[in-house]
A = this chain, B = another copy of it.
Amino acid sequence: MSVENYTRLVGQQARQASSVMMTATTAQKNAALEHIAQALMANQATLQAENQKDLVAGRDNGLTDAMLDRLALNPERIAGMVEGLRQVAALQDPVGAINGMDYRPSGIQVGKMRVPLGVIGIIYESRPNVTIEAAALCMKSGNAAILRGGSEAIHSNQALAACVQAGLAAAGLPEHAVQVIDKTDRSIVGELIRMPEYVDVLVPRGGKGLIERIANDARVPVIKHLDGICHVYVDVEADLAKAQSIAVNAKTHRYGVCNAMETLLVHSAVAVQLLPLLAQDYAEKGVELRGCAATQAIIDCLPASPEDWDTEYLAPILAIRVVNSMTEAMAHINTHGSHHTDAIVTENYTRARRFLAAVDSSSVMVNASTRFADGFEYGLGAEIGISTDKIHARGPVGLLGLTSEKYVVFGDGHIRQ
């Protein structure tokens, strides 16, 4: 079968399965999740043996140690997937909830019902546990899923897919509700992203390059997660103890994550007091500092170049800029940021409100670390990704982001006059 025909067949099967998943009961979906969890536990040996094939091939193909680590399925990671499935089963089922059934002057009663999107395509790279996370979230939200993992994880993903199929079958749900692509042809992605008749939305998970390529070529809506250039602005009326701990936490809690601070903006009136304290903290953590001229006049650091303001380091490097007003800080954030997560540290009520309204980012915070921008921290239970888009869903995307709302109208024989 040609790649095109194969991909279209997968799409048709997903579309058919989605009409069953749309009305599957919460009990059925939770039963399937539990059966998958049990299948993972029962098949640990197989999963590890198949994973071993990927690890051997990966080593032969020159994958780095970090990549091999992400690829590995050890007993702790399998336990983590089992735990994740049970967490998703415990989440409230969003499907079918009806809200705001208000009467209109005509006499009809109108509200909205939460419904699945239909078929979700997920394109991801090495970590095989994404297969289980994505399958669980799509199933619980009543969607069918087409999962396309990296070729380096093909054996692991197929072994995981067998567990998912077994769980779906045991719960009486269609096996095509979750399909894991079993071919490694790169052209499958090209087909998958151009089938709006079979795929309702794409969620690419991986590097910025992959996501930009997909967004550029797709004919299907894409929930994108591009870069995270996050800021903390320390206001003239900041509590400097809070500012210090937030600035340290936002930068140093973890470096390689999208919600880490990349640029610190400090009001000139507090910079002389705050920056030396922070410089000492960052020095202890081994963070390289790159400052504007005003920063360099206060602390010892490298000079920041214009490129620094637009860079997502994902590393122990921090750009620092002294600003003369909150307006200047907000202009910097809206110009150089990536509209991901930005925080203000201030005790001033009016400026906190203004910052919240005027900073155009998916998460805006007052007196809290940017590191909180996360599906688990926000109480979504789990996240399929973090959206830096503006339409449909912004910020961490959980079950609700995989649903939409349709209008429901109740009448009693009402006709339009």
Give bound CA distance, A414 to B413, whole Å: 55
Tell me if A407 is interfacial: C-beta within 8 Å of chain B.
Answer: yes
Q: Tell me whether A59 is interfacial, beta carbon within 8 Å.
A: no
Judging by beta carbons under 8 Å apart, are A373 and B413 in contact?
no
Asked if A48 is at the interface (CB within 8 A of a chain B CB), the reply is: no
- Smallest CB-CB separation from A259: which chain B residue? B416
- In chain A between 316 and 335, which residues have their CB closer than 8 angstroms to a CB of chain B? 334
A204-248: CB near B (< 8 Å → 1, else 0) gives 000000000001100101000000000000000001011001101
Min CB–CB distance A343 → chain B (angstroms): 8
Taken residue by residue from 87 to 128, chain A's Cβ proximity to chain B (1 for < 8 Å, 0 otherwise) reads as: 000000000100000101010101001010110000000000
Q: CB of A277 within 8 A of chain B? A: no
A117, A200, A404 — most chain B CB neighbours (10 Å)? A404
Residues of chain B contacted by A371 (CB below 8 angstroms) = 415-416
Q: Tell whether A408 pairs with B356 under 8 Å between CB atoms, given A253-B416, A368-B414.
A: yes
Q: Does A141 contact B (CB under 8 A)?
A: no
Is A82 on the interface with B (CB-CB < 8 A)?
Answer: no
Whether B358 and A23, one on each chain, are in contact in the complex, defined by CB atoms closer than 8 angstroms, is yes
Q: For the complex formed by this chain, how many copies does it contain in all?
A: 2
Are B22 and A413 in contact, CB atoms less than 8 angstroms apart? no
Q: Which B residue sits closest to A238, measured CB to CB?
A: B413
Tell whether A367 pairs with B414 under 8 Å between CB atoms, given A390-B200, A406-B361, A406-B394.
Answer: yes
A395's partner among B22, B362, B378, B406 (CB-CB below 8 A) is B406
In Å, the complex CA distance between A104 and B378 comes to: 7
B253, B389, B405: the one contacting A394 at CB < 8 Å is B405
Q: Is A12 an interface residue (CB 8 A)?
A: no
B249 touches A390 (CB 8 A): no
The verdict on A315 contacting chain B, using a C-beta distance below 8 Å, is no
A255 at the interface (CB under 8 A from B): no
**List of B residues within 8 angstroms of A106 by Cβ:** 372, 377
- Asked if A411 and B368 sit within 8 Å, CB to CB, the answer is yes
| Complex-state Cα separation, A35 to B195, whole angstroms | 46
Interface residues of A in 358-379 (CB under 8 A from B): 358, 360-369, 371-373, 377-379
Give A407 to B358 CA distance when docked, in angstroms.
13
The reply to whether the CB of A45 lies closer than 8 angstroms to some CB of chain B is no
Who on chain B is nearest to A201 by CB? B391
Q: Which residues of B contact A415 (CB under 8 A)?
A: 245-246, 248-250, 253, 368-369, 371
Q: How far is the CA of A358 from the CA of B219 in the complex (A)?
A: 26
Checking B361, B366, B396, B416 against A372 with a beta-carbon cut-off of 8 angstroms, the contacting residue is B416
Q: Mark A395-409, 1 if CB is under 8 A from B, else 0.
A: 110000000111111
21 A-B residue pairs with Cβ-Cβ distance under 8 Å, sorted by A, are A102-B379, A106-B377, A110-B377, A110-B378, A245-B415, A246-B415, A361-B406, A363-B407, A363-B409, A365-B409, A365-B410, A365-B411, A367-B412, A369-B416, A372-B414, A373-B409, A391-B404, A394-B404, A394-B407, A395-B406, A395-B407
Using A117-B391, A248-B415 as known contacts, list a sample of 17 further A-B pairs with CB atoms less than 8 Å apart, ordered by residue number in A: A22-B358, A106-B377, A110-B372, A113-B357, A117-B390, A118-B360, A200-B391, A201-B391, A241-B413, A245-B413, A250-B415, A362-B407, A364-B409, A368-B411, A368-B413, A369-B416, A394-B407
Residues on A lying within 8 angstroms of B by beta carbon are 19, 22-23, 96, 102, 104, 106, 108, 110, 113, 115, 117-118, 200-201, 215-216, 219, 221, 239, 241-242, 245-246, 248-250, 253, 334, 343, 354, 356-358, 360-369, 371-373, 377-379, 389-396, 404-416
